[in-house]
């Protein structure tokens, strides 16, 4: 090791530091960097010819120093790898703390230094006598820096000296000003000397903070106060200053002078960072505050979602503590990359998402599983090329708790058998669409992995034969058997076990299971909370009665089922109340059913009655009367519900956060009432042709929290309505105003106030142009998804603006716009573009397209017109597909214009 023969020491010695970094910054950064290993007593760095590029960090504990020597060895710090050893001698601050720093020793040290200096300087400086050299050096030092003693600032202390006060200032006035800061003690003024004052705080840090905050404060327009530390301290204060400050406090004080944030301890900053974890933008702003925040953020960062795999190599060393790696934006992840990341984050990596990545094999997975022994989660969904060898490699991850293998269609019972043997700690396993896995593999899993909590077996060719061991799992809470057509009533009747721990059961699309099978399967499942029976057999009275066995049931989804009225009456006659009920697309649901249900489930929070086409005003009356705490109501296409029903929603359901009334008869009066729901976050008003700007005005003034608004084909609206929305809903993240022919640039200009806008759909708005979109691009820098299909007046200039300002753009549909080669190419500047659709761009040539495709390095999905296929050189496809991009070809004919009376499009001929 680099520490060589030097015995362990509380202090570490670091060399090969970047000599360009200023001393104070270097000390501060070292402090930040090393405080992860323990309490630091002092950081020493000097810029003298002999000592530049080196530093000492003194820890309270030897163990901290040892860890620092080992773990930070060669850590790239200001672009240079640090070389770390134990220090050869004891630091003075430690000797002082131990009470062993004798004055004698100090003197001896000084002499040593003088001696060395003399020897080192031979030939360059005339030799001087020992004592004289030492003393002289001490005295001349300040004058070298060009500061006379008289002008030199006093050392930081607890008393501030205030100058340039208006003569009429009283101590009361000053007290008011200075007592806002913690630690305030008193103001002292001298009658004979107007214009100055002394303000005392409890300690130097508190006085420093007040100084920072009030420096230059204008008491009157002419009197900006000047604050310095007081110079002539009373004897008691000067004693305090000499003895109360530990070396570390001195350091943090010097630091506080430059940056007020630096007086925060690392623990506090880490606690702040813990709360920022899921928001990349906040973290980014955080690390831009100052260099030490930047550094700490790097060290603290635990999750990473790189936009491209090429970028990953560069950050392997930058972020030493990554535990969660999301590679879902990286279509190409090869074995060497898996090997190097698993080497870098060997002891930290706990979770990795490879669900959208390809080009790796069992070899890479094996390295991952072997290196990262703390790995608990791997998402390999969509690994359609992965075989049993890959599953065998995954089985090396002995601590794995969550494994997602959805659509790994080549993996068989053999592969899953390896996983069962290797990963005994599995708690969650998703085998959805692993169509080669049969009863054998599933049964084996259930026998071996006793810790399983959650098991997804959707669409597997399994039968009831694999169920007995599954139902014996002691902790199983979540079982998904969606689309398992091999399981039927007859088979289920053979079961004699029940799973008591089961909390959620999903039997959607299980056409062969009726209430008979359901009760055999859930016999004794007294903790069942959620039941999904969507798209299954008819919901009959018997089924309804069967549900009565589960007294703790909170949520039922019956989407797409034929529901009889008597069945809903049975469901309605429970004593306990459901919180979530979905009846979307249930044919057979009438007002009578709904009324019955909601009257006995008054605690309902979420209700979905999408496409319950028979219900009317009466249902809405009943729902809103009974379920006043409703937070989500989805009722798209309930076309018999009359316009006055919507008033009731606004009057009675003040807690609504989500409302979908797409394709309903709602009018402005209804919107007026609905805008009383001030908690509304999502409002869908697509194809609501009765609403106009008046209605939107109400929404704009009543729903300040709105994040999502859908006005697709709500053809009564104009720019004036959008202006009210833009003004009243600053939190807006997603807006759809597609196919509204009255919308112009003016709407886009108003929407540019919504700085958090992420998704903008203006497809088929023929009157918007480059001007409007460029304004959006300049203002809404978080834009991720943009649909401008058929906006024929949008041209290259708008693309230039997007390329310049919208660095987060992920997805764009440009079909039928007036964009040409140059505009398309400029989108490559956004760096993050993954998904692009271009059918019919008149100004685009094959060379322009080829150049743009190559330039947009992060593309994962490209939708093009078939006519381009033979025109592009073959190597383009090879190259793009090699990078992980998938091409989708469409052969739609050129569509000329939008039918002003509806959404049927005239189909014209190709140009």
Partner DNA sequence: AGCACA
C-beta closer to DNA: residue 17 or 386: 17
Rounded to the nearest 5°, which phi and psi values hold at 468? -50, -50
Instruction: Give the strand pairing for 159-163 and 226-229.
Output: antiparallel
Closest CA to 758 of 726, 727, 724, 781: 781
C-beta closer to DNA: residue 249 or 409: 249
C-beta closer to DNA: residue 56 or 184: 56
Judged by the rule CB under 7 A, the positions of this chain that interact with DNA are 6, 11, 13, 15-17, 19, 42, 44, 46, 48, 50-54, 56, 58, 85-93, 95, 109, 112-113, 116, 138
The DSSP call for residue 307 is: S
3-state SS, 448-475, equals HCCCCCEEECCCCCCCHHHHHHHHCCCC
C-beta closer to DNA: residue 46 or 755: 46
Give dist(CA 493, CA 495) in Å, integer.
5
Placement of tokens 């094996």 in the chain: 366
Closest contact distance (angstroms) between CB of 46 and DNA is 5
Beta-ladder partners of 888: 863
CB-side neighbour CA atoms (13 Å) of 528: 24
Closest CA to 355 of 377, 388, 370: 377
Closest contact distance (angstroms) between CB of 237 and DNA is 19
Closest contact distance (angstroms) between CB of 278 and DNA is 40
DSSP labels for 724-788? HHHHH-TT--EEE-TT-TT--HHHHHHHTT-TT--EEE-TT-TT-BHHHHHHHHHH-TT--EEE-
Closest contact distance (angstroms) between CB of 250 and DNA is 8
Closest contact distance (angstroms) between CB of 211 and DNA is 22
Give dist(CA 512, CA 642) in Å, integer.
38
C-beta closer to DNA: residue 15 or 869: 15
The DSSP call for residue 37 is: G
C-beta closer to DNA: residue 9 or 750: 9
Rounded to the nearest 5°, which phi and psi values hold at 685? -125, 25
Closest contact distance (angstroms) between CB of 10 and DNA is 9
Closest CA to 455 of 465, 468, 446: 446
C-beta closer to DNA: residue 93 or 528: 93
Burial class (CB in 10 A: 0-12, 13-18, 19+), 176: exposed
C-beta closer to DNA: residue 17 or 532: 17
Tokens (6 digits) for 812: 């764009």
Closest contact distance (angstroms) between CB of 97 and DNA is 11
C-beta closer to DNA: residue 101 or 854: 101
Closest contact distance (angstroms) between CB of 788 and DNA is 57
Closest contact distance (angstroms) between CB of 89 and DNA is 5
Q: Are 527 and 549 in contact (CB under 8 A)?
A: no
Give dist(CA 250, CA 203) in Å, integer.
12
Closest contact distance (angstroms) between CB of 80 and DNA is 9
C-beta closer to DNA: residue 3 or 774: 3
Q: Are 675 and 698 in contact (CB under 8 A)?
A: yes
C-beta closer to DNA: residue 11 or 619: 11
- Helices (H) and strands (E) counted in the chain, each on its own, are 35, 38
Instruction: Give the strand pairing for 811-813 and 835-838.
Output: parallel
Spell out a b/e string for 573-584, using b for 16 or more CB atoms within 10 Å of the CB, else e: ebeeebbbbbbb
Closest contact distance (angstroms) between CB of 335 and DNA is 36
Entry field: residues in the chain: 911
Closest contact distance (angstroms) between CB of 239 and DNA is 18
C-beta closer to DNA: residue 46 or 63: 46
C-beta closer to DNA: residue 79 or 191: 79
Closest contact distance (angstroms) between CB of 290 and DNA is 24
Give dist(CA 670, CA 653) in Å, integer.
13
Closest contact distance (angstroms) between CB of 230 and DNA is 20
C-beta closer to DNA: residue 75 or 374: 75
The DSSP call for residue 182 is: T
Give dist(CA 865, CA 822) in Å, integer.
19
Give dist(CA 174, CA 200) in Å, integer.
12
How many Å separate Cα 110 from the centre of its chain? 55
C-beta closer to DNA: residue 42 or 477: 42
Closest CA to 190 of 235, 232, 224, 240: 232
Give dist(CA 629, CA 632) in Å, integer.
9
Angstrom CA distances, 672 to 681, 698, 750, stand at 16, 5, 22
Give dist(CA 834, CA 828) in Å, integer.
10
DSSP labels for 152-177? SPPPP-SEEEEE---TT--HHHHHHH
Q: Are 771 and 797 in contact (CB under 8 A)?
A: no
Closest contact distance (angstroms) between CB of 204 and DNA is 16
Closest contact distance (angstroms) between CB of 236 and DNA is 22
C-beta closer to DNA: residue 87 or 214: 87
C-beta closer to DNA: residue 87 or 685: 87
Closest contact distance (angstroms) between CB of 17 and DNA is 7
Give dist(CA 850, CA 852) in Å, integer.
5
């Amino acid at each position: 090791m680099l520490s060589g023969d030097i015995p362990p020491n509380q202090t570490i010695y670091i060399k090969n530091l970047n000599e360009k970094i200023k001393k104070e910054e270097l000390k501060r950064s070292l402090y930040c960097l090393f405080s992860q290993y323990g309490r630091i007593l002092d950081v020493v760095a000097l810029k003298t010819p002999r000592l530049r590029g080196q530093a000492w960090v003194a820890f309270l504990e030897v163990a901290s120093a040892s860890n620092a020597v080992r773990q930070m060895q060669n850590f790239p710090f200001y672009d240079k790898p640090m070389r770390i050893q134990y220090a050869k001698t004891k630091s003075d601050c430690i000797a002082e703390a131990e009470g062993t720093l004798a004055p004698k020793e100090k003197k001896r040290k000084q002499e040593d230094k003088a001696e060395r200096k003399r020897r080192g300087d031979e030939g360059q400086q005339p030799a001087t006598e020992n004592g004289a050299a030492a003393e002289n050096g001490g005295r001349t030092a300040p004058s070298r820096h060009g500061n006379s003693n008289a002008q030199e600032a006093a050392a930081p202390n607890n008393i501030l000296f205030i100058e340039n006060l208006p003569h009429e200032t009283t101590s009361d006035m000053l007290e008011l000003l200075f007592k806002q800061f913690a630690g305030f003690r008193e103001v002292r003024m001298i009658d004979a000397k107007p214009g100055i004052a002394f303000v005392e705080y409890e300690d130097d840090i508190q006085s420093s903070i007040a100084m920072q905050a009030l420096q230059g404060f204008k008491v009157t327009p002419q009197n900006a106060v000047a604050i310095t530390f007081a110079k002539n301290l009373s004897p008691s204060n000067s004693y305090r200053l000499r003895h109360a400050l530990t070396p570390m406090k001195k350091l943090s004080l010097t630091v506080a002078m430059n940056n007020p944030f630096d007086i925060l301890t690392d623990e506090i900053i880490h606690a702040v960072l813990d709360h920022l974890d899921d928001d990349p933008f906040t973290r980014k702003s955080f690390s831009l505050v100052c260099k030490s925040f930047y550094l700490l953020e790097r060290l603290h960062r635990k999750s990473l979602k790189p936009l491209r795999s090429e970028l990953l190599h560069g950050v392997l060393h930058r972020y030493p503590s990554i535990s969660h790696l999301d590679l879902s934006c990286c279509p190409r992840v090869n074995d060497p990359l898996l090997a190097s990341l698993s080497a870098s984050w060997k002891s930290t990596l706990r979770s990795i998402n490879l669900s959208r990545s390809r080009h790796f094999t069992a070899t890479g997975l094996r390295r991952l599983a072997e290196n990262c022994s703390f790995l608990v989660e791997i998402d390999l969904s969509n690994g359609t090329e992965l075989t049993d060898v890959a599953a065998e490699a995954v089985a090396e991850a002995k601590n794995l708790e969550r494994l997602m293998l959805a659509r790994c269609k080549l993996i068989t019972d053999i592969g899953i058998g390896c996983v069962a043997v290797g990963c005994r700690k599995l708690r969650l396993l998703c085998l959805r669409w692993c169509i080669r896995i049969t009863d054998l593999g599933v049964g084996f899993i259930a026998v071996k992995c006793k810790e399983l909590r959650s098991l997804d077996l959707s669409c597997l060719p399994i039968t009831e034969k694999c169920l007995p061991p599954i139902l014996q799992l002691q902790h199983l809470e979540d079982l998904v058997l969606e689309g398992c057509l091999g399981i039927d009533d007859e088979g289920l009747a053979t079961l004699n076990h029940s799973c008591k721990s089961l909390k959620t059961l999903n039997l959607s699309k299980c056409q062969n299971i009726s209430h008979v099978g359901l009760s055999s399967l859930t016999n004794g499942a007294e903790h069942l909370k959620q039941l999904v029976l969507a798209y299954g057999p008819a919901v009959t009275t018997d089924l309804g009665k069967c549900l009565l066995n589960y007294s703790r049931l909170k949520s039922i989804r019956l989407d797409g089922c034929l529901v009889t009225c008597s069945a809903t009456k049975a469901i309605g006659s429970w004593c306990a109340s459901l919180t979530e009920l979905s009846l979307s697309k249930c044919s057979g649901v009438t007002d009578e059913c709904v009324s019955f249900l909601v009257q006995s489930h008054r605690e309902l929070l979420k209700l979905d009655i999408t496409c319950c086409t028979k219900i009317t005003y009466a249902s809405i009356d009943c729902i809103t009367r009974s379920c006043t705490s409703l937070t989500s109501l989805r009722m798209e296409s309930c076309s018999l519900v009359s316009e006055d029903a919507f008033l009731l929603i606004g009057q009675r359901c003040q807690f609504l956060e989500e409302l979908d009334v797409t394709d309903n008869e709602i009018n402005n009066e209804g919107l007026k009432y609905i805008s009383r729901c001030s908690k509304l976050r999502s409002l869908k008003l697509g194809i609501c042709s009765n609403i106009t700007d008046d209605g939107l005005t109400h929404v704009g003034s009543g729903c300040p929290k709105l994040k999502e608004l859908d006005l697709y084909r709500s053809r009564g609206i104009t720019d004036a309505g959008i202006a009210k929305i833009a003004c009243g809903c600053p939190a807006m993240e997603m807006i759809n105003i597609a196919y509204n022919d009255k919308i112009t640039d003016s709407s886009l200009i108003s929407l540019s106030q919504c700085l958090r806008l992420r998704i903008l759909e203006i497809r088929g708005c023929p009157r918007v142009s480059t001007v409007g979109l460029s304004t959006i691009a300049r203002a809404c820098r978080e834009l991720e998804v943009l649909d401008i299909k058929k906006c024929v007046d949008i041209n290259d200039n708008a693309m230039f603006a997007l390329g310049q300002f919208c660095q987060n753009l992920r997805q764009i549909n440009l079909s039928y716009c007036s964009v040409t080669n140059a505009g398309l190419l400029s989108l490559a500047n956004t760096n993050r573009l993954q998904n692009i659709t271009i059918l019919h761009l008149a100004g685009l040539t094959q060379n322009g397209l080829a150049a743009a495709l190559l330039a947009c390095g992060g593309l994962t999905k490209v939708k093009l017109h078939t006519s381009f296929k033979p025109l592009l050189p073959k190597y383009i496809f090879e190259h793009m597909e090699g990078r992980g991009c998938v091409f989708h070809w469409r052969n739609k004919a050129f569509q000329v214009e939008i039918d002003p009376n509806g959404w049927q499009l005239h189909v014209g001929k190709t140009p």
